[in-house]
Amino acid sequence: GENVEQHPSTLSVQEGDSAVIKCTYSDSASNYFPWYKQELGKGPQLIIDIRSNVGEKKDQRIAVTLNKTAKHFSLHITETQPEDSAVYFCAASYSSNEKLTFGTGTRLTIIP
């Protein structure tokens, strides 16, 4: 089955700087890659997603890039703000099997 690895496990960034979180996946059949943000006591919230026919997608300060050949994808957050502090999860799935396989999470701390 699919295996998703995520790095780093923790990340501290000065407010206003950029943060990058990286994930790799094992199954070349995977074609959908969402990113979730989870705050304490809440469920994961979808922040951006990308499909395998696209190399990059942006939504304001958030962007995701996908390299299908290398089987890795990354989340980029620019101009970080204190409210960006949370745990971020990457995930992967493929259309013949709808379940999401998650990475182990990155705890992002924005230092004011």
Rounded to 5 degrees, what angle do the CA atoms 83, 34, 109 make? 25
Nearer to other proteins, 11 or 100 (CB): 100
Q: Which two tokens stand for residue 20?
A: 């990058």
Nearer to other proteins, 42 or 83 (CB): 42
> In the complex, what is the shortest distance from the CB of residue 84 to other proteins, in angstroms, rounded to a whole number?
19
Sequence letter at residue 63? A
| Residues forming the site for other proteins (CB under 8 A) | 32, 34, 36, 41-46, 49, 89, 91, 93, 95, 97-105
Nearer to other proteins, 33 or 80 (CB): 33
* Contact criterion met (CB below 8 Å) for 50 and 93: no
> In the complex, what is the shortest distance from the CB of residue 61 to other proteins, in angstroms, rounded to a whole number?
20
> In the complex, what is the shortest distance from the CB of residue 110 to other proteins, in angstroms, rounded to a whole number?
23
3-class SS at 84? helix
- With DSSP H G I counted as helix, E B as strand and the rest as coil, what are the percentages for the chain, rounded to 5? 5, 60, 40
